[in-house]
Chain A
């Protein structure tokens, strides 16, 4: 029995014209998912901070939800990286021997700092609730509820003081943490942009604008996902209430009213960030075309011929312009907004795709092209990890995690 020899990349790379022998699409779908997921994390956090720091009261309801949702997204940001590594068990090496001239080396530190900020902020927000639960479940006889009480006991970390002074301190801590969290969240994602922007060998990636573009599109995608998830959950609530009490019941109207209100207010912020993101991306393209460096010939070929559909139709057209118009035209109701949000999420995904895959669509020789044939049917483990099924696993996980967290931290209840 000889070991099956798998050349990484050979399964999904189709070469055209002259490409160096060792060149393949080494960074595939997993690396598209990585900035996409970190972007969602950062965006969700920034959305919650808009309320906690800048006192945007109109965001109060969605702020709590997006904070908890960013916690659910956190472990998932790491997942595609682990799926991608050739030696996943050595991933921890980046914490043992971080080599600080590398943009990736900061990952461990920035990521854990950010995780601690999110965790402690959530703790301060919900500490009072935990204490209340411990007291409320005191006399319970059911074993399940006793277990639940135990969990809340642990979650309080022994801080049972819920006097006015203590709660005021909690609030202050939340504001400070949210304020520190904004730059850290931006850094977390900005440096994901830096990872690409600093690769001087790659003509498409190398740009000082890359980190800023990444932050903007991250915030856009984060807000859009929070809004969309919020809509889905509220619609579900509305549906169950309608089932229980009938269509005309007052509580159904209340839910619908709250939902539309929250969504309308959040949309304003979304549009602002969306405009900033598109402006920066267009600036980048115009600048490349105008300066027309050596690499422009091949970049133009990739953008206007090979990847035209993916860049200009899917990303800018369907993912940016169309939802922008849908949100701008007055009288947007839940259904239209939800469709626009889904399109925006798709647009940001396509942007990640066009950066990561598009950056490898041409050879370093500038004389050939590589086409990415996304692995679908996993004939071996590598094709699962790097393929569509792996990506779907990553995309589904935050919702599972959120479901579990929501059992203990009710971020959806109106305060």
Chain B
């Protein structure tokens, strides 16, 4: 066969196409590997917040900032506590100064005083990543840098995130932000590095009132799991269909 220009071009094209298939794409898995890849995990981490117990001290936020190396004075935070004050006129006054890192030290809410006489009810609500079962953030990541582990925790690969911010936009709970130093998306991981060693999260350890608990939903003997399974618990914003896995006791209708 003579090498005409047409043939040369054809062959070059075919060669380029073949070369562009990475060898790793053709890797065969051993049966054990394949089984591991599809089999459901024996663990599903979940979180329980008892809002009745939270006093708004902010120790959880402080502990989280230290444990996860989030710049202390930066306004962003992996977990925060919101204060709700519902007055007799039906208005809700909400704030979370510095994410409640220093607790709630002023009676002023969002720059105005509320007369204690006018208050119907007031409470605190801790927030953190909901480690959703169908996470919107994972769906929208263009490079697959954020992913869900088999035990249900959503993580971010800091070496691969391009920093487009699409996941931040997609999260209905506003838990994501850009890490001020690493310049990639960041959020609560349930302290995954601690969980996998059998420890509790930093915020759970820091809470003196037992308002925060972390558990394994697949372990029916876990006392926290028992509460979630047998008592009346609620989740935040289930209308988005993300199947959040942070459960709340005593959630009020005013909570955003």
Residue B31, interface by CB 8 Å: no
Report A-chain residues with C-beta under 8 Å of the C-beta of B241. 200
Report B-chain residues with C-beta under 8 Å of the C-beta of A18. 82, 94-96, 110, 256
Please tell me the number of chain B residues within 8 Å of chain A, measured between CB atoms: 52
Kindly provide the distance from the CB of A40 to the nearest chain B CB, expressed in whole angstroms.
21
Q: Could you jot down 27 A-B contacts, CB within 8 Å?
A: A7-B71, A7-B76, A7-B178, A7-B180, A8-B177, A10-B74, A18-B95, A20-B96, A20-B173, A21-B76, A21-B80, A22-B176, A26-B165, A87-B183, A90-B160, A90-B163, A93-B162, A97-B144, A101-B140, A102-B140, A105-B143, A201-B136, A201-B169, A201-B171, A364-B174, A365-B174, A366-B256
Q: A18-B94, A21-B80, A104-B140 are in contact. Are A87 and B165 (CB under 8 A)?
A: no
Residue A377, interface by CB 8 Å: no
How far apart sit A102 and B241, CA to CA, in the bound complex (Å)? Answer: 17
How far apart sit A85 and B183, CA to CA, in the bound complex (Å)? Answer: 9
How far apart sit A410 and B96, CA to CA, in the bound complex (Å)? Answer: 61
Report A-chain residues with C-beta under 8 Å of the C-beta of B192. none
Central interface residue in B94, B99, B181, by most chain A CB within 10 Å: B94
How far apart sit A85 and B80, CA to CA, in the bound complex (Å)? Answer: 27
Kindly provide the distance from the CB of A366 to the nearest chain B CB, expressed in whole angstroms.
6
Q: A86-B162, A93-B160 are in contact. Are A199 and B256 (CB under 8 A)?
A: no
Report A-chain residues with C-beta under 8 Å of the C-beta of B177. 7-8, 22, 24
How far apart sit A102 and B180, CA to CA, in the bound complex (Å)? Answer: 25
Q: Which of B76, B139, B184 contacts A102 (CB 8 A)?
A: B139
Q: Is the interface of A mostly helix, strand, loop or mixed?
A: loop
Minimal Cβ-Cβ distance residue in B for A3: B181
Residue B141, interface by CB 8 Å: yes
B178/A99 in contact, CB under 8 A = no
How far apart sit A159 and B239, CA to CA, in the bound complex (Å)? Answer: 60
Report A-chain residues with C-beta under 8 Å of the C-beta of B33. none
A199/B75 in contact, CB under 8 A = no
Q: Is the interface of B mostly helix, strand, loop or mixed?
A: loop
Report A-chain residues with C-beta under 8 Å of the C-beta of B166. 102, 104, 195
How far apart sit A84 and B178, CA to CA, in the bound complex (Å)? Answer: 12
Residue A75, interface by CB 8 Å: no
Report B-chain residues with C-beta under 8 Å of the C-beta of A85. 162-164
Report B-chain residues with C-beta under 8 Å of the C-beta of A8. 177-178, 180, 183
A21/B169 in contact, CB under 8 A = no
Query: Which residues from chain A sit less than 8 Å from chain B, CB to CB?
Result: 3, 5-10, 17-18, 20-24, 26-27, 81, 84-87, 90-91, 93-94, 96-99, 101-105, 107, 158, 195, 198-202, 294, 363-367
How far apart sit A90 and B164, CA to CA, in the bound complex (Å)? Answer: 10
B75/A21 in contact, CB under 8 A = yes
How far apart sit A56 and B146, CA to CA, in the bound complex (Å)? Answer: 48
How far apart sit A90 and B185, CA to CA, in the bound complex (Å)? Answer: 14
With A18-B95, A90-B163 given, name 12 new contacts (CB 8 A). Answer: A7-B177, A18-B256, A20-B80, A20-B96, A22-B80, A26-B178, A84-B165, A102-B139, A199-B140, A201-B169, A294-B239, A366-B256
How far apart sit A377 and B152, CA to CA, in the bound complex (Å)? Answer: 44
Minimal Cβ-Cβ distance residue in A for B161: A87
A201/B74 in contact, CB under 8 A = no
A107/B142 in contact, CB under 8 A = yes
Report B-chain residues with C-beta under 8 Å of the C-beta of A200. 136, 170, 172, 240-241
Q: Which of A21, A23, A87, A201 contacts B163 (CB 8 A)?
A: A87
A104/B74 in contact, CB under 8 A = no
Q: A105-B142, A366-B256 are in contact. Are A97 and B160 (CB under 8 A)?
A: yes
How far apart sit A244 and B239, CA to CA, in the bound complex (Å)? Answer: 70
How far apart sit A343 and B89, CA to CA, in the bound complex (Å)? Answer: 47
How far apart sit A396 and B178, CA to CA, in the bound complex (Å)? Answer: 29
Report B-chain residues with C-beta under 8 Å of the C-beta of A158. 5
A86/B180 in contact, CB under 8 A = no
Report B-chain residues with C-beta under 8 Å of the C-beta of A96. 143
Report B-chain residues with C-beta under 8 Å of the C-beta of A101. 138-140
Residue B249, interface by CB 8 Å: no
A201/B240 in contact, CB under 8 A = yes
Report B-chain residues with C-beta under 8 Å of the C-beta of A198. 140
